[in-house]
Structure 1
Amino acid sequence: MNTSRSRGRTPKALRTAALAALLTAGTLIVAVPEAQGETARTETPVSSVGSVAESVVRVKVPLPASFGARPAACDWLSYLRYRSSDGPAAPADADRILVAQPGILEGAGAFDSVARNTVARAAEQGRHIEFWALDRRSNCLEDHTGVDSGDQHTAVDYYYRGKQVAGRTFAGFVGNDQLGWMAKLGIQQTVRDQYDLLTAELPDQGLRKRKVLCGGHSLGGVVTGYFATADFDGDPATTADAGYNQCAGYFALDTTVSTSLADLSGSIPDDTDLPDVGLGYGVVQAGLDSGVLPRSLSAPVLLNPETMTLLAIAGVGALQDPDGESDLPSYLPANTNIEATNRFLFSKDTATFLTGTPAVKDFRLTNAAVLGALLDDNSVPLAFLQSSVGFFDGGPITDKNFPAANGSSSQPALFGTQYKAIPAEPHGPLYTWRDYDRVGAADDPDYRSSDGTPFTNAGEEVTDIQELARSLARQPLDFTEQYFPTKLVTDIELATSPQVKQLVVHPDGLTANPTLTVLAGDGLLAGRIPADLHPVVADGYQHLDVLTAAPAQNNGRPEPVSTNLARFARAPQ
């Protein structure tokens, strides 16, 4: 998911005064990671689908003592390992290993489809490659118990009603006062974690240089840029440890490999609690250390742990009984956060949003339609959350003109370009979901906006809703990231500060290796990437589709993201 916000927002006076007072904390000294003891490692099989085997790997890499108290689980690094079922068991024996950093508010589970598709595509060409989807350390705070039950009602009862599952009671969503250790979890520790994981899993630096391809999605491209330019032994004169010498090449999925957020700016709502970086590095860091500033990025609605958990729960329902009538909107507890989120996502106009009538629970929707309404590009109004998974079916459809009107020339890029739609008849027919590969079929009603514009067509639909549900609900590492470290973004937004500039030790590392850039044709970066990067454009794709697209596309051609990744992995670097 994507990364920045519009620059130049004036901070509230009270916050500014509080932060200015904290300047007495003095200059922040960047901590050097402590020596690691003996590393522990676990690997647990997850599933095999076709020619691809998946497992979850956890490696014990404790944080420096300077981070302070944190849960024991946060001293482990985790990733999802995808490999050929009939390929070598040892990663070092694979032909190539793609290592992917997630975007903002995104976990390793989001890579499920693209990882499987890429490994399978390479296997068709006689190559045994691996795809490692990295999880950020902060995902250690998430509790999967309710979702792992495989039952939607059980999950709601666990997270929102205090009911036990498998003898466990949910401890609640973690508050800012419990996240003190995350105040230091910025770009330096994030790239150090990747280096420590790679050296633990693949101790031979020469092998890493020959076989590892480093990259990511959205913010993951920027993290890869910092990794490429980093020095990990404290001596710039020795370069075997340099980030660029851990990789044979780079890949960027709807992003660029860089040390700037410029390409990704304007894609997070202004109501997130991201601090104003005009305050300067020292003030921001002091605010994070003290807790005056939130250590985890969230917003009042939609983008917070309580509401992001609903995506996985919706995925459970779509897998459990996709065509069955959903009672999720009615079964959820009534609270301000969930109510405001439902209104924001399911209001056809401003009047509906303000009155709450009709509400989402007034419509009859299948479980698949609920998930589609939450993530499809013709429904959800935030571009960095959009995928192209099909369209509503089963009854009359009307324009969704909230929070922006369809066809408006002044619509912010944040909302995307697709016309938005919503069921038209409360207490009426059962609205179903037409999957991506049935859009444009002979029985497609060809729903249109009031101005005659088709809401969608076959060329703009690329993701299978069942695969998306699997990625959300059946991964041991989450699709979403409930506790994103605020410091990771503020560090990058403060790239010109001395404290962050010093981390870019080898700036030529950005161009030291070949790079594959793949862009979503209808995504956030469409038309904004320089031609000299020679990007591969996935037509009709949205920002998330580069991760979630199905292997079989409506145009009969191979899925372009995984096809190009497999080709890039095959080429000599």
Structure 2
Amino acid sequence: MRRRPAARSPLPRTRAGGALLAAAALVATALTAPPPAAARAADRTETAVASTSPVTDVVESVVRVRVPLPESAGPRPERCDWLSYLRYRHADGPAASKDADRVLIAQPGIFAGAGSFDGLARNTVHKAAANGDHIEFWALDRRSNCLEDPTGIQAGLAAGDVHLAVDYYYRQKEAGGRTFAGYQTNDQVKWLQNVGLAQTVRDQYDLLVKELPDQAVRKRKVMCGGHSLGGVLTAYFAMWDFDGNPATTGDAGYEQCAGYFALDTRIDTGLLGMEGFPAETVPLVEFGAGVVRLGLEAGIVPRALSAPAVVNTETMNLLAIAGLAARLAPEGLSDLATYVPSTFNTDTTYRLLFSKDYPTFVAGTPTVHDFRFTNAAALGGLLDDNSQPLAFMQASVGFWDGGKIVDKEFPAPNNLDELGFGGLATLLGTDKKAIPDTPGGPLYTWRNFDLVGAPDDPGHESKHGGPFTTPAKEVTDIAQLARSLSEHPLDFTEHYFPTKLITDIALADAPGIADGAVHTGGIDANPTLNLQAGDGLGARDPKPGDVIATGYQHLDVLTASAVQNNGRPEPISLDLAAFAGR
């Protein structure tokens, strides 16, 4: 894979192909500040979001701006002609974004939405205010998030009953005057075949121009960045020429930003700087851009990226349901695996995530139905780094409690290093996996991150030696993760991730895909802050000047608690606030 040249001048360049690895809140009254012009009102809405976050001096709102797709995109729901973001600002700060000291705009990672930034956004705005800076944090939703239906999550949150959400999505019961139309099929999302790299960076540019019309203000105040895939998108945004004339640079992406920030990623066209990782590992890429385009048009290639289990539209929504249950009744007995109707997808997902070893997986017994979990434990089992097998979906939220815990050696054994397969940590994460071992036995509970290592902690140990976890490895409050998964009008996850966005990045050298990325020096034109998870993806390729948060996993850079187990402030938001105020 060719790496971008180091030149800093805005000259044409050859784009490097990247390699990619593997609810809603209570809505309150509209903000009182009027739009700058009456004509703008019909094309922009801003609504306050009520939150139970412990960070109480940060104001959150959901902003929607009408930016229609070109007609060539094809038929789509009218709501998909709008772009949305969560706007976070300090309660004592200015009401107008143009008057803020800085505006941080963040692209989410793969399969992620605006809600995933909630913890980081609040902590950063709060810490900046303590430094005397009033900044804003804009957490972006990609256009494809418009296809999600948060009605059931909103209804369950408002009523304090997660069963209302399940009934809406699985039993055709009405909520909020609506009935769930079902998950969108490949034919229903045909327009996504036209939403790739060019449209995604164009959306960010158009949104910035609409919200901050003065280019000089954007250049002085906006910090551009993202998490995971968001670093790659920010790199292409920085290089893009948006008026089609490379000789005029006022419209260039790098001229919209005063600096860049990377959250367990790099501002680079190769994900996490992993040059040399074969692009052919991205599905379909080996057939070339023409074949991929024809496959998308014919519907042979799925227009939204998904797997048969674990990572797909239904399971992304299931995370919001699990988060809602853990938010409403963390110590209550979970019926997630029983009240949610059995489907091939859910059964296979539970089997993949909760099998102790290969014999258990093959035999199909015991199943998750044979264990008793609290709602918090069920959520921990889905996302904790000692349980979730995919590194890009892991957070450090504590550990199992309440009964016998053993090594979870499916889909991979816990002694990969000894077996010579340590490189799989890129996919599976670095921490040993664990699982309850007493079906039909005790109620398994969840020990929150700040109670690991407490006097009553049993200190479970792996049969391969050493404890499964330590206080230094736990950083995220599971209650706040549950809140972020279920409280926002823009979801934590992205249910319909456009396949074209992945294939475009991997095939960026092909004509017609990234032709706008002509400003070679755009990536290096502004200061960059790299904020990496110590046990995540970015810190495996450290660079001089990186901020490395010890013990963090890939999601922890977004979700970590404001105060850590060592009593010190959360480092990612602390350094980001200082960088924004510098």
Same fold (TM over 0.5): yes
Judge conservation of contact 2:103–2:223 (CA < 8 Å) in 1. yes
The aligned residue for residue 197 of structure 1 is 207
> What amino acid is aligned across from residue 43 of structure 1 in structure 2?
E
Judge conservation of contact 1:436–1:463 (CA < 8 Å) in 2. yes
Change (3 A) 1:97 1:512: same
Determine which of 63, 66, 69 is the counterpart of 2:72.
66
1:296 counterpart SS class? coil
2:459 counterpart SS class? coil
For 1:501 and 1:359, the matched residues in 2 are separated by 47
The aligned residue for residue 348 of structure 1 is 356
The aligned residue for residue 503 of structure 2 is 490
For 1:222 and 1:159, the matched residues in 2 are separated by 34
The aligned residue for residue 332 of structure 2 is 324
1:407 aligned to 2:415? yes
Which moves more between the two structures, 348-357 or 204-213?
A: 348-357
Change (3 A) 1:112 1:265: farther
1:440 aligned to 2:450? no
CA offset at residue 5 of structure 1?
3.9
2:187 counterpart SS class? helix
Runs of 4+ in 1 over 4 A off after TM superposition: 264-268
The aligned residue for residue 483 of structure 2 is 470
Change (3 A) 1:176 1:560: same
1:445 counterpart SS class? coil
For 1:152 and 1:264, the matched residues in 2 are separated by 41
The aligned residue for residue 47 of structure 1 is 50
The aligned residue for residue 10 of structure 1 is none
For 1:262 and 1:553, the matched residues in 2 are separated by 26
For 1:230 and 1:192, the matched residues in 2 are separated by 9
1:289 aligned to 2:297? yes
Determine which of 540, 555, 560 is the counterpart of 1:549.
560
For 1:376 and 1:251, the matched residues in 2 are separated by 25
CA offset at residue 501 of structure 1?
4.5
The aligned residue for residue 320 of structure 2 is 312
The aligned residue for residue 251 of structure 1 is 261
For 1:67 and 1:554, the matched residues in 2 are separated by 49
1:146 aligned to 2:152? yes
RMSD: 1.9
CA deviation vs aligned residue, 1:8-30 (integer Å, no higher than 9, x gap): xxxxxxxxxxxxxxxxxxxxxxx
For 2:521 and 2:19, the matched residues in 1 are separated by 24
Judge conservation of contact 1:185–1:485 (CA < 8 Å) in 2. yes
2:540 counterpart SS class? coil
The aligned residue for residue 479 of structure 1 is 492
The aligned residue for residue 12 of structure 2 is none
The aligned residue for residue 34 of structure 2 is none
The aligned residue for residue 441 of structure 2 is 428
1:315 counterpart SS class? helix
For 1:562 and 1:338, the matched residues in 2 are separated by 35
Q: Output the TM-score relative to the length of structure 1.
A: 0.91
2:512 counterpart SS class? helix
- Listed as ranges, the matches of 1:191-270 within 5 Å are 191-261=201-271, 263=273
> What amino acid is aligned across from residue 512 of structure 1 in structure 2?
A
The aligned residue for residue 515 of structure 1 is 528
1:539 aligned to 2:550? yes
Change (3 A) 1:432 1:3: farther
CA offset at residue 167 of structure 1?
2.4
The aligned residue for residue 134 of structure 1 is 140
Determine which of 382, 390, 393 is the counterpart of 1:374.
382
Judge conservation of contact 1:3–1:104 (CA < 8 Å) in 2. no
CA offset at residue 361 of structure 1?
1.5
CA offset at residue 287 of structure 1?
1.4
The aligned residue for residue 13 of structure 1 is none
For 1:81 and 1:267, the matched residues in 2 are separated by 36
1:167 aligned to 2:167? no
2:521 counterpart SS class? helix
CA offset at residue 265 of structure 1?
8.3
For 1:560 and 1:323, the matched residues in 2 are separated by 30
Q: Which has the higher contact order (CA 8 A, sep 6+)?
A: 2
- Listed as ranges, the matches of 1:79-94 within 5 Å are 79-94=85-100
2:430 counterpart SS class? coil
The aligned residue for residue 11 of structure 2 is none
Judge conservation of contact 1:60–1:76 (CA < 8 Å) in 2. yes
CA offset at residue 503 of structure 1?
2.2
Judge conservation of contact 2:402–2:445 (CA < 8 Å) in 1. yes
For 1:370 and 1:399, the matched residues in 2 are separated by 17
Judge conservation of contact 1:110–1:472 (CA < 8 Å) in 2. yes
Which moves more between the two structures, 215-224 or 345-354?
A: 345-354
Identity of aligned residues (%): 62
CA deviation vs aligned residue, 1:90-143 (integer Å, no higher than 9, x gap): 000101010000010000000000000000001111111000000000000000
Judge conservation of contact 1:84–1:128 (CA < 8 Å) in 2. yes
2:513 counterpart SS class? helix
For 1:323 and 1:495, the matched residues in 2 are separated by 48
Q: How many residues align?
A: 536
The aligned residue for residue 176 of structure 1 is 186
For 1:203 and 1:246, the matched residues in 2 are separated by 11
The aligned residue for residue 457 of structure 1 is 470
For 1:490 and 1:260, the matched residues in 2 are separated by 13
Judge conservation of contact 1:92–1:207 (CA < 8 Å) in 2. yes
CA deviation vs aligned residue, 1:467-523 (integer Å, no higher than 9, x gap): 100110001101110000001010000022122342211010000000000110001
CA deviation vs aligned residue, 1:506-548 (integer Å, no higher than 9, x gap): 010000000000110001233313x24x211010000000000
For 1:265 and 1:58, the matched residues in 2 are separated by 37
The aligned residue for residue 347 of structure 2 is 339
Judge conservation of contact 1:364–1:427 (CA < 8 Å) in 2. yes
> What amino acid is aligned across from residue 333 of structure 1 in structure 2?
P
CA offset at residue 266 of structure 1?
11
For 1:401 and 1:218, the matched residues in 2 are separated by 27
Judge conservation of contact 1:5–1:266 (CA < 8 Å) in 2. no
CA offset at residue 262 of structure 1?
6.3
Judge conservation of contact 1:260–1:495 (CA < 8 Å) in 2. no
> What amino acid is aligned across from residue 65 of structure 2 in structure 1?
V
* Structure 1: unaligned runs, 5 residues or longer: 7-36
For 1:221 and 1:503, the matched residues in 2 are separated by 18
For 1:330 and 1:263, the matched residues in 2 are separated by 43
The aligned residue for residue 288 of structure 2 is 280
1:79 counterpart SS class? strand
For 1:228 and 1:539, the matched residues in 2 are separated by 29
Which moves more between the two structures, 365-374 or 288-297?
A: 288-297
CA offset at residue 334 of structure 1?
1.3
For 1:265 and 1:463, the matched residues in 2 are separated by 31
- Listed as ranges, the matches of 1:387-398 within 5 Å are 387-398=395-406
For 2:83 and 2:228, the matched residues in 1 are separated by 21
Q: Output the TM-score relative to the length of structure 2.
A: 0.89
For 1:347 and 1:521, the matched residues in 2 are separated by 28
For 2:58 and 2:494, the matched residues in 1 are separated by 25
> What amino acid is aligned across from residue 418 of structure 1 in structure 2?
D
